[in-house]
Amino acid sequence: MKGTVRTRVLHVITGLGLGGTESMLCKLLEASPEFDARVLSLEGPGLMDARVRDSGSHLATLDLRSLNPSRMAWGLSNIFRNSWRPQVIQGWLYHGNLAARALAPFLPGARLAWNIRQAHHGMAMEKPLTAVVIRMGAVLSRGVDAIVCNSSKAMSQHITIGYSNATWTVIPNGFDMNQFRPDPELRRATREALGLTHDLFVVGVLARVHPMKNHHGAIQAVAKLNSRIPGLRLLLAGHGATEDNIWLKEELRQTDLYGQTLLLGERTDIPGLANALDVLLNASHLEGFPNVIGESLACGVPCVATDVGDSGVAMGEHGILVPPGNVDALGEALFSLYSLGPEARSTIGARGREHVAGRFGLDRIAGAYAALYDQLING
């Protein structure tokens, strides 16, 4: 990039844990060398800090949870050192959006963009503080130059609750097709490491344990197949999917699935886990644009998912979509894919990978962000 004027972008995000939003930001940074990007994390150190730095982007944390003024001042000064000033301020998630809005008046000339990454089905589903932040966002959205959303349904929902309807653009999640790909050797090695033989039928739920992710429904659906599928295994990976989760262990014991379930907790080896699966199950009550569907299909793994958010857009015809909350339908969909056999599932997965590459390849999505920023800066 020597000799090239790079677009200066300040990304403001709540934190850098292992969530889908944080992953999307990292992928955007890695795929966009034309950005002179700096990242401001409102929380303290996170599990994706190294990935941000490895992308060549500068990172500073405010550590707002500590309420330490000196740390916050140091974080801000670290971002704006060497007289660096952004052309675009990009907020991520509700809290990051408000923080970006608060910074904008102190950075004259910078254009302000927000990024909303989740569906909304009522304030009762949110934590009290988050509900307040969402309402504040609706009021302040009229002073924003652009609002990015990864889901058309989530966009409509936020407009309904009062967000400005004049500045939206839908940019779905993007997927690195080199990182996420069918890999028989990786499948074998991952299964071997997890103690799973090649003949087992493995259903995976790759999501944090949260009511909206509906692990209860997923477990109930898989339990219905216990007597119908020999060698059935359930793989749960994500924050809270651990032996320490008393509620989760009790759910598994009540359905006689505990001895057939792997509880892996938070993992970074998602390509390996996806390849190890026969079917990805996403039983969520709420979604925006689910990363896990795109990642699994990119690995050639068919999906069963509830028809929420843009799950249908992400999956296309390469799996089975069922109504949310319908445990029986989830179970029958899983059994249907099991009954097809490995060869037919592989064919569905291969077509699913083509679908993801054609519509959601990372280069295409990074290009959409670059075009948006160019439009904001140059009109």
Model pLDDT for residues 236-259, shown as the tens digit of each residue: 999 999 999 999 999 999 999 999
User: Mean pLDDT of all residues in the chain?
Assistant: 92
Residue 6: the pLDDT is: 86
Identify the three-state secondary structure at position 114: strand
Res. 1 pLDDT band, cuts 50 70 90: very low
Point out the least confidently predicted range of 71-85, 167-181, 267-281: 71-85
Model pLDDT for residues 88-107, shown as the tens digit of each residue: 999 999 999 999 999 999 99
- Full strand arrangement of the beta sheet holding 88-92: 58-61, 35-41, 7-13, 88-92, 111-116, 146-149, 168-170
Element (H, E) at 312: helix 311-315
Res. 64 pLDDT band, cuts 50 70 90: confident
Spell 192-220 as b/e; 16+ CB within 10 A means b.
Answer: eebebeeebbbbbbbbbbeeebbbbbbbb
Residue 273 confidence (pLDDT) above 80: yes
Residue 275, phi then psi, degrees to nearest 5? -65, -30
State mean pLDDT over 151-158. 90
CATH code 3.40.50.2000 region(s) in the chain? 7-174+361-378, 184-359
Residue 73: the pLDDT is: 72
Residue 68: the pLDDT is: 65
State mean pLDDT over 192-221. 96
What is the rounded CA–CA span in Å between residue 222 and residue 216? 10
Residue 69, phi then psi, degrees to nearest 5? -60, -40
- Residue 203, strand partner residues: 234, 279
Provide the CB-side half-sphere exposure for 117 (13 A, CA). Answer: 22
What is the rounded CA–CA span in Å between residue 267 and residue 45? 17
Q: May I ask the CATH architecture of the domain 184-359?
A: 3-Layer(aba) Sandwich (3.40)
Residue 5: the pLDDT is: 67
Residue in the block written with tokens 């020597």: 2
State mean pLDDT over 330-349. 97
Res. 66 pLDDT band, cuts 50 70 90: low
Q: Among 360, 345, 374, which residue's Cα sits nearest to residue 277?
A: 345
Cα 271-94-156 angle, rounded to 5 deg: 85
Residue 287: the pLDDT is: 85
Res. 182 pLDDT band, cuts 50 70 90: very high
State mean pLDDT over 188-206. 98
What is the rounded CA–CA span in Å between residue 135 and residue 140? 9
Residue 3 confidence (pLDDT) above 50: no
Q: What percent of the chain has pLDDT over 90?
A: 78
Dmax over CA atoms of the chain, in Å, equals 66
Residue 366 confidence (pLDDT) above 70: yes
Model pLDDT for residues 167-181, shown as the tens digit of each residue: 999 999 999 999 999
Residue 234, phi then psi, degrees to nearest 5? -115, 130
One CATH from 3.30.70.141, 3.40.50.2000, 3.40.1190.20, 3.90.1150.10 for 7-174+361-378? 3.40.50.2000
Point out the least confidently predicted range of 64-73, 274-283, 304-313: 64-73
